Structure 1
Amino acid sequence: MNDKPRFDFTIHATDGKARTGEIAMRRGTIRTPAFMPVGTAATVKGVKPADVRATGADIILGNTYHLMLRPGAERVARLGGLHGFMGWDRPILTDSGGYQVMSLSDLTKRDENGVTFKSHLDGSRHTLSPERSIEIQRLLGSDIVMAFDELVPTTSTPEVQAAAMARSMRWAKRSRDAFDAGGVHAEGAAIFGIQQGALDQTLRGDSAGALIDIGFDGYAVGGLAVGEGQEAMFACLDFAPGQLPADKPRYLMGVGKPTDIVGAVERGIDMFDCVLPTRSGRTGQAFTRNGPLNIRNAKFAEDTGPLDPACGCPTCAHPEHGGSRAYLHHLVRSGEILGAMLMTEHNLWFYQAMMADLRAAIGEGRLKAFADAFRQAYDSHAERV
């Protein structure tokens, strides 16, 4: 394992702004563009680690905020780190916890040191600073560590946006320093900085410049997919990725819907994460090449076909063995756990197949044709749910 690279990003092909390549790390290679299933609390909900890997996922995401509260980062470290704890032997990216402490918690204090908040679980008080965030991610054994940042809504005043961006850059430097002081952890993992600045091109450019001066292994575009809408997000992505180093991975945090991902890949993004495929699976929504469908709909009650005839997931491949729309309709309407499990697994297969198709299209120089056809099929035939 030690003879493998710590972090090595290679671009194999480009098509317009889009790139396809690989990130080589000690625990495995990540094919890009990549979608990372979200394993919030040391589990991709409803799917065993081996089955997550079978979908084609090269990397998953863990959540610093949730794991620090339960079961606790120190406990996870004692139990072999997040990889050993949950039984996933490939790379894991951990977010910094910044988004969650500002969206899920009862905040009591936010200052230059960090954020002091009350747990949404039991009301206990905690402080998350850049240094503590990096320490938690180190204890979890993260392969890709995220810098701690301050997120504010895109609807905030320009003054608030500018102040949050500037503070995030100061926190980015403290995160980098804490990471570099981590000894073996810093030698075996990578750290990404997070660009902020809402929808403002100048603020985004200033943020990118500050991050480049600090120096990171990869760069995330943060602060999007928080309600601004696809048109505004794409307008920001028309310039934001180009402000970041071309030879480093670019990660769009918290995105997204299939058409969001396709459009972001066209604009130069390499990595994605989102709870949508798993959350939607638990609520009865399946993603297909002809758009999302709501399996609860009565029209599926006697439909013996698969969710998506073009899908290679175990459920769609064998509709006659308990994978039909009719059976899934029954399971979901009945509240059976198996329904959520099968729907979630299908959605994860769909997302990974979409990423594989994007990688192939970029490599063969036909991304525009693929993307246009994907959008036409997805949007024109989508069941409105």
Structure 2
Amino acid sequence: MLRPGAERVARLGGLHEFARWPHTILTDSGGFQVMSLAQIRKLTETGVTFRSHIDGSRHEMTPERSVEIQGLLGSDIQMQLDECIRLPAERKEIDRAMQLSLRWAARSRAKFEAMGGPGKGQGLYGIVQGGDDAELRATSARELAAMPFEGFSIGGLAVGEPQAVMLQMLDIVCPLLPQDRPRYLMGVGTPDDIVESVARGVDQFDCVMPTRAGRHGQVFTRFGRINLRNARHAEDPRPLDEASDCPAARDYSRAYLHHLVRAEEALGAMLLTWVNVAYYQSLMQGIRDAIEAGRYADFVAETKAGWARGDIAAV
């Protein structure tokens, strides 16, 4: 919205052309930034006014403007504007934010249809809120399920609550959402979060975890998480995983990767990010294959056994 600007991106052919990415693009609505920029924004029934983190200029984000921006960007999967709050929070505050998000969902949907989104092959997702309150989550899910969204996001989780609470909310929400449309758990997560969430009916995920962990010397492998900053890797000639299809995991020694991380070389962050993205892709392919074969429970047990067994000599 602020840089380079949605209108400019639209003039340049939309995100697919601008970024030379021919595949599916999903955009968020700005709701998470409403939470993360709490110190420089004001929220009302109409929307959110905030100051730019770039130059301090004042802007307004409404449900309608959020959908308009995503339409200008040309994203394939778009999100309604919602209010996401941090946990723990008082029930009264969770309820207020959830009800506001429902009203914004209806406004977002009306704007999306007015812009012809469905006719362009695009989809708009409603976002389930309700914090860690079972009753409020159920209310949000039921009311959104009655609206004609192409898919449904589950927001406001992985924002400070334990994994057990997140999974409990999924146990409540997923059965209430339509079986014939995707369910998207926003901002999640670790490999363990993903396999447990899929078991509860989640289809889509997004998270900075693979890239952020890579920048900080952490990699995810079939042996579990490995911290390349640890001194025990300094003279280890083995690769991270000699059986991996990823060259960064298969062809470079742990000693070299450790050196790059400790020396703060940009190549270290690049290689470890490559390792993590490749592992996540492999994990998701394994999940899809196991579901197709009707052996998902066995797949989860085998995967977790590998993480638990680990690579004891080097982790």
Correspondence 1:1-385 to 2 at 5 A: 68-104=1-37, 106-183=39-116, 186-317=119-250, 319=251, 323-381=252-310
Give percent identity, aligned residues only: 54
Evaluate the alpha carbon distance shift between residue 245 and residue 295 of structure 1 in structure 2; reply closer, same or farther with a 3 A threshold.
Answer: same
Aligned to 1:61: none
Q: Which amino acid aligns with 1:102?
A: M
Q: For 2:140 and 2:167, how far apart are their aligned partners in 1? A: 18
**Structure 1 residues 237-246 or 150-159, which shifts more?**
150-159
Matched-pair contact (CA < 8 Å) for 1:106–1:119:
no
Once the two structures are superposed, residues 77-111 of structure 1 have per-residue CA deviations (whole angstroms, 9 ceiling, x without a partner) of 12221111111110101011111122135333111
Q: Which amino acid aligns with 1:99?
A: F
Once the two structures are superposed, residues 277-327 of structure 1 have per-residue CA deviations (whole angstroms, 9 ceiling, x without a partner) of 00111111111111111112122122222112332112223x2xxx22122
Q: For 1:209 and 1:238, how far apart are their aligned partners in 2? A: 14
1:93 counterpart SS class: coil
Q: For 1:170 and 1:307, how far apart are their aligned partners in 2? A: 49
Q: For 1:375 and 1:192, how far apart are their aligned partners in 2? A: 32
Q: For 2:70 and 2:33, how far apart are their aligned partners in 1? A: 15
Q: For 1:308 and 1:229, how far apart are their aligned partners in 2? A: 30
Aligned to 1:26: none
Number of positions where the alignment pairs a residue of Structure 1 with one of Structure 2: 314
| TM-score scaled by length of structure 1 | 0.78
User: RMSD between aligned alpha carbons?
Assistant: 1.8
1:373 counterpart SS class: helix
Q: Which amino acid aligns with 2:87?
A: T
Matched-pair contact (CA < 8 Å) for 2:25–2:76:
yes
Q: Which amino acid aligns with 1:286?
A: V
Higher relative contact order (CA 8 A, sep 6+): 1
Q: Which amino acid aligns with 1:353?
A: S
| TM-score scaled by length of structure 2 | 0.95
| Structure 1 or 2: more helix by fraction | 2
